[in-house]
Amino acid sequence: MSSDLLVRTPAVQSKLPAVGTTIFTVMSALAAEKGAVNLGQGFPDFDCDPRLVGAVTQAMTRGLNQYPPMTGVPALREAVAAKVQALHGHRYDAGSEITITAGATQAIITAILAVVRPGDEVIVLEPCYDSYVPNIELAGGTVVRVPLTPGSFRPDFDRIAAAINGRTRALLINTPHNPSATVWTREEMLRLSQLLAPTEVLLISDEVYEHMVFDGQAHQSAARFPGLAARAFIVSSFGKTYHVTGWKVGFVAAPAPLSAEFRKVHQFNVFTVNTPVQHGLAQYMADPAPYRDLPAFYQRKRDLFREGLARTRLRLLPSEGSYFQCVDISGVSDLAEDAFCQWLTSEIGVAAIPLSAFYGDGFDQRVVRFCFAKKDETLRLALERLARL
């Protein structure tokens, strides 16, 4: 028998057969190929505060380079608990209710794996971040898709209520919202609290853009509402807040019984998180100015970008929070969203993301998303090119 016949890779039945290359990878590769300004993928192209790099460097040189506690460096958990209490009036116990994670994406899948069993239903509100659905599927759960109201992207509570039944284990929400840039109001959060109150449904509240809320609005964290806080995993991201997305550090705040289950899974999927970065963040958080000033920082970029877009035939949708701006392309092209984004990247030299990529069925409403977390010169270059529209 030929030895070649003994060398083979066994077949694997995919756990995620519908998952391929993400739209973000596709558009970023096309942008690089065409020399386009990449306003597709959501990350800054500017540096973080040198003081933060200095704090992390100092931690390294002090020898803080071995495993930290599984739940996170105590000083950082205390800083997070203090910040949440100062901003939202809810005190989490740093020892039993705050866990430091390897970014928000890991936090979300860990929360889902901790509480979702095969056959459980989990409600997602579309359009939604692309990790939610695969996370639920990996846990053996059943995804129940409820659309946000087309056009306004507000929650439709009648449809959410209709989707809840005895098999519903959890609901995922995201505010400020990626991709639509809408922000849930206090009234909407209160209505959600009333809706969930008689149920056993858990809440996973993705709040990674919590410090990017504009025009004088306040971020309505689930932590502000006792009925929601009591059933919620609240997820946030130091990477988003401090312009260090590549560091992949976030946190989860949840009541002690939920945190205990979360930590059981966390212990065995990442165990723990980068030690010197945690110490550096703890030191840096002593000054609240960087996150308190963030709304004004990004609102100025939003306004610069919107002012330029207003001179094109693209129709601006509201941008209430996050670092995204959505536009209606109907006045510019008859192309579908994904084809328009490919054309825009290749022919105009600016990359965007189709909103249809955030829907399971590819729902096309002639809307695309730009990211304005970029240097002013990057935004101005993009606007010069978009002026041709």
What one-character DSSP code corresponds to residue 321? Answer: B
pLDDT bin (cut points 50, 70, 90) of residue 6 is confident
pLDDT bin (cut points 50, 70, 90) of residue 19 is confident
Contact 72, 100 (CB under 8 A): yes
Structure confidence at residue 18 (pLDDT): 87
236: β partners: 251
Task: Report the chain's mean pLDDT, rounded to a whole number.
Answer: 96
What domains appear along the chain, each with residue ranges and CATH number?
A: 3-48+292-386 (3.90.1150.10), 50-290 (3.40.640.10)
Structure confidence at residue 306 (pLDDT): 98
Place of tokens 């209490």: 85
How far apart are the C-alpha atoms of 222 and 277, rounded to whole Å?
A: 27
pLDDT bin (cut points 50, 70, 90) of residue 73 is very high
Q: What is the largest CA-CA distance in the chain?
A: 75
Q: ω into residue 179 within 30 of 0, thus cis?
A: yes
142: β partners: 121
Structure confidence at residue 8 (pLDDT): 87
Contact 95, 124 (CB under 8 A): no
pLDDT in tens, 355-365: 999 999 999 99
Q: Is the pLDDT of residue 41 over 90?
A: no
Q: Is the pLDDT of residue 1 over 60?
A: no
pLDDT in tens, 312-343: 999 999 999 999 999 999 999 999 999 999 99
Q: What burial class does residue 313 get, using C-beta atoms within 10 Å of its C-beta: 0-12 exposed, 13-18 middle, 19+ buried?
A: middle
Structure confidence at residue 4 (pLDDT): 63
pLDDT in tens, 269-302: 999 999 999 999 999 999 999 999 999 999 999 9
Report percent pLDDT > 90 for the chain: 94
Structure confidence at residue 2 (pLDDT): 60
**Beta strands, E only, the chain:** 37-38, 98-101, 121-126, 142-147, 168-174, 202-206, 232-237, 250-253, 315-316, 324-328, 350-351, 353-354, 367-371
Q: Is the pLDDT of residue 3 over 70?
A: no
Structure confidence at residue 287 (pLDDT): 97
State the average pLDDT over residues 35-52.
Answer: 95
pLDDT in tens, 100-141: 999 999 999 999 999 999 999 999 999 999 999 999 999 999
State the average pLDDT over residues 139-157.
Answer: 97
Any idea which of 22-31, 142-151, 305-314, 374-383 has the lowest mean pLDDT?
22-31
pLDDT in tens, 224-242: 999 999 999 999 999 999 9
Q: Is the pLDDT of residue 5 over 90?
A: no
